[in-house]
Amino acid sequence: MNTLPYTSVLSTRWKTQTGMADERLLASVRQLLEERTNQQVTLGEIAAELLLSPRTLRRRLLELNTRFSTLVAEVRGNQVRRYLTETTWSLDRIAEQVGYSDAANLRQAVKRWTGESPQGFRSRVRSQQSTQVCDRNFERQMA
């Protein structure tokens, strides 16, 4: 046989040295996507950052039961929700910051994720947060 006995050792060492163990791959991809929120990022660019070929990254994500496009949507969705609840930014500004082409596409995405308009989502979450703060203040006063 013409196989090299150290190939699996090298593969294991490479994963350990580069931090690309499966548990950490998703976190690494998410982090890179979060760092580039207002840019259109490709799988190839993220793969290059991780020192992987695009095909290898795609295959490894599939082994983890996800896709690159799913991770992009997840990261964008989390950032949009955060901007809607933690800032007073307009939808145009949020769309620009997160990489949507315009506010109309952002509105459709928020409606798809939450079942409500961006303004409705923002109002509801802020109302819930306000209620929680009041409850905590009341509990402190009673203690």
On whether the CB atoms of residues 37 and 99 are closer than 8 A, the answer is yes
CA distance 100 to 84: 14
Q: Given this model, what pLDDT does residue 87 score?
A: 93
Q: What is the pTM for the complete model shown?
A: 0.71
pLDDT along the chain (143 residues), means of 10: 44 48 87 88 95 96 94 93 93 91 93 93 85 64 64
Contacts (Cβ under 8 Å, ≥6 apart) of 89: 83, 97
Q: Given this model, what pLDDT does residue 2 score?
A: 46
Q: Given this model, what pLDDT does residue 10 score?
A: 42
